[in-house]
A and B are shown apart, each in its own frame.
Chain A
């Protein structure tokens, strides 16, 4: 669906599209949407940068700032919150990896194995997107309950001795990453499924005919051909995960020790009204993501995996 088309444009329409026309009408079609984007996307990003450079004048009240060029805000933000920044990316990368490992076989099953049974495919896809339809907050809370201190899972683990008596599951990096992974499995599965669905089975047959075992055929043929989907999936997972703060929030699956950058931005912006710091952190978050993403896309886009 949307995610399939997200796959870098290259993986888009297979049919021969109509030739593109020139026309003034294009401008008319574009104008409203573009204006909206300019006003409510670009301008806010600019606002963020501007805000990040603001400075609090002498004797200012809470939340009162004036425009400036206080680059020190960035230094302060990093100095105070670098653990959160690192943690955010650490959790995000870990969750993305787990989502990939967990999600790829599911996508393979639906897109390749179950190809002869469209009913099973439809049912499986419905199950994969089902989590989307239940409130994000409530399902995260559900996990908190299921993994919680009084749940049968925790009690079993305590009983078996796998978990020290004074430690919980909830409120740890594990539970945060768990929550993040769960949340983004559909985002990972759908693009990979879209890629694998288009995989011509005959390539697999050719691989087998040419002396490649099933494992080798997977590594040399299937995986490289599904890379567009894998790239889409990891991006769709990593980017939101890095900025997430619900899973890491103490109200949900986290604790104060697991706070991510998102939590800090939320607190500094909405509670302590330290707008410049919040803005600086936002810009930093966005910037790092853009850098990581462009390196990643460039590497997997041009690399010929043999």
Chain B
């Protein structure tokens, strides 16, 4: 696929078939089936240790799958060595060659493939990341953010059919990060390259990607457009990992028409059937904090609107664009409400008695098993799970090293 001497004309699609990766002691990837169409910007999102970096390394060829196949542009590359794959990686650790100048680093891949005019092209790539004036410096003389940009340039300059990015923008400040996000999207769009972006930063994933896949414990929990994932999460993990959610558990008491009604601590809450994964038994339903409305007096009951309350405001947290209110409703727990700061100051004060309502069509129902009563956020703070996570992170790091 990698035509030596020329650039790829367009991106290639990536297919992972039944991918399974086992390290001594634990399984990083259970079973992964994924197709990323050519020319798309795809984000693999998940917490540390979920297997996303391992997936990236498998695609790059730096690890071998225990079983399964990897196809790039229709060609099976599972047994192909990394230097023969039409893939380039932007490493999280930058991995810039310390004994070469920035320019030599960027020109490295071009020279290996005997592309014409490598130095000129390297300069172009450096201009793209605004670092051409430092072309003759050594990596050690650059700041972390500058090194990251060089790493980007070094990969992009090769115009690979598939570009892998491992948390590439982490060390950049906000302004530069926005700039690079735009730049990356532009480059990707222009040449139609396929980007696979691995990150734990959900905001970044949602901003840049066409498609996002949320990974957890070696499997993809849900995949789709950012809007789809955010507004219609299917599992508690996705609901909590992408933004925040208010989750309630209860029994389905009736289903009629296109709604199911769930009994939440005595209150009837309606959820559209097409937005609920399960229609009977004990279910967990949820609603996003920004969809909630605060009322200082008991609101009139309306069709299609769910109301909870009264409760007390126990926390008011200002964050510029919006204010976060935490409302404690007896019998149900703490709800989080985001309200855009349309006016100065909070709309309700600490300690005030409030009601919370939302349009039923904004709610969602999860496919998961019922969570523990009172535990809305599956906060995994037990020592055992922290140790497990740390171990997995370490092992993943070792696998990388």
Q: Do A and B contact each other directly (Cβ–Cβ < 8 Å)?
A: yes
Q: Indicate if A169 sits at the interface (CB-CB under 8 A).
A: no
Complex-state Cα separation, A209 to B109, whole angstroms: 8
Complex-state Cα separation, A304 to B337, whole angstroms: 60
Chain B residues with Cβ below 8 Å from A225 are 98-99
Binds A, one of B88-96, B285-293, B373-381: B88-96
Chain B residues with Cβ below 8 Å from A200 are 93, 95
CB distance from A245 to the nearest CB of B (A): 39
| Interface 1/0 per residue, B86-119 and A, CB below 8 Å | 0111010101111110001000110011000000
Q: Indicate if B158 sits at the interface (CB-CB under 8 A).
A: yes
Q: Indicate if B2 sits at the interface (CB-CB under 8 A).
A: yes
Q: Which of B84, B91, B108, B158 contacts A202 (CB 8 A)?
A: B91
| Interface 1/0 per residue, A97-139 and B, CB below 8 Å | 0000000000000000000000000000000000000000000
Complex-state Cα separation, A209 to B97, whole angstroms: 13
Contact A210 B62 (CB under 8 A): no
Q: Which of A208, A213, A220, A305 contacts B61 (CB 8 A)?
A: A208
Q: Indicate if B401 sits at the interface (CB-CB under 8 A).
A: yes
Contact B401 A202 (CB under 8 A): yes
Chain A residues with Cβ below 8 Å from B154 are 210
Q: Indicate if B60 sits at the interface (CB-CB under 8 A).
A: yes
Q: Indicate if A162 sits at the interface (CB-CB under 8 A).
A: no
Complex-state Cα separation, A121 to B43, whole angstroms: 40
Residue of B nearest to A206 (CB): B95
Residue of A nearest to B400 (CB): A202
Complex-state Cα separation, A190 to B112, whole angstroms: 32
Q: Indicate if B22 sits at the interface (CB-CB under 8 A).
A: no
Contact A210 B91 (CB under 8 A): no
Complex-state Cα separation, A250 to B112, whole angstroms: 53
* Given A201-B401, A202-B400, A216-B112, residue A208 in contact with residue B83 (CB < 8 A): yes
Q: Indicate if B145 sits at the interface (CB-CB under 8 A).
A: no
Contact A209 B88 (CB under 8 A): yes
Q: Indicate if B82 sits at the interface (CB-CB under 8 A).
A: yes
CB distance from B35 to the nearest CB of A (A): 23
Chain A: interface size category: 20 to 34
Contact A304 B99 (CB under 8 A): yes
Q: Indicate if B280 sits at the interface (CB-CB under 8 A).
A: no
Chain B residues with Cβ below 8 Å from A202 are 91, 93, 95, 400-401
Chain A residues with Cβ below 8 Å from B100 are 304, 306
Contact A305 B99 (CB under 8 A): yes
Contact A208 B82 (CB under 8 A): yes
Main secondary structure of the interface of A (DSSP, over half): helix
Residue of A nearest to B401 (CB): A201
Chain B: interface size category: 20 to 34
Complex-state Cα separation, A212 to B112, whole angstroms: 6
| Interface 1/0 per residue, A185-210 and B, CB below 8 Å | 00000000000000011110111111
Chain A residues with Cβ below 8 Å from B89 are 206, 209
Contact B401 A206 (CB under 8 A): no
| Interface 1/0 per residue, A288-306 and B, CB below 8 Å | 0000000000000000111
* Given A210-B109, A211-B109, A306-B104, residue A203 in contact with residue B83 (CB < 8 A): no
Complex-state Cα separation, A205 to B155, whole angstroms: 13
Chain B residues with Cβ below 8 Å from A304 are 99-100
Which chain B residues numbered 158 to 207 have a C-beta less than 8 Å away from chain A?
158
CB distance from A210 to the nearest CB of B (A): 4
Contact A211 B113 (CB under 8 A): yes
Chain B residues with Cβ below 8 Å from A220 are 108
Complex-state Cα separation, A305 to B100, whole angstroms: 8
Complex-state Cα separation, A201 to B2, whole angstroms: 25
Which chain B residues numbered 47 to 102 have a C-beta less than 8 Å away from chain A?
60-62, 81-84, 87-89, 91, 93, 95-100
Residue of A nearest to B157 (CB): A210
Chain B residues with Cβ below 8 Å from A214 are 83
Chain A residues with Cβ below 8 Å from B108 are 207, 210, 212, 220
Which chain A residues numbered 214 to 253 have a C-beta less than 8 Å away from chain B?
214, 216-217, 220-221, 224-225
Complex-state Cα separation, A210 to B108, whole angstroms: 7
Chain A residues with Cβ below 8 Å from B62 are 205, 208-209
Complex-state Cα separation, A206 to B164, whole angstroms: 12
Contact B95 A205 (CB under 8 A): yes
Complex-state Cα separation, A305 to B401, whole angstroms: 25
Complex-state Cα separation, A65 to B352, whole angstroms: 109
Interface centre among B87, B109, B113, B158 (most CB of A within 10 A): B109
Q: Which 6 A-B pairs have the closest CB atoms?
A: A210-B109, A206-B95, A211-B112, A208-B82, A202-B95, A209-B89
Interchain Cβ contacts under 8 Å between A and B, 29 examples: A200-B93, A200-B95, A201-B401, A203-B97, A205-B91, A205-B95, A206-B91, A206-B95, A206-B97, A207-B83, A208-B61, A208-B62, A208-B81, A208-B82, A208-B83, A209-B60, A209-B62, A209-B82, A210-B109, A210-B112, A211-B2, A211-B83, A211-B84, A211-B109, A212-B83, A221-B97, A224-B99, A225-B98, A306-B100
Which B residues contact A (CB, under 8 angstroms)?
A: 2, 60-62, 81-84, 87-89, 91, 93, 95-100, 104, 108-109, 112-113, 154, 158, 400-401
Which A residues contact B (CB, under 8 angstroms)?
A: 200-203, 205-214, 216-217, 220-221, 224-225, 304-306
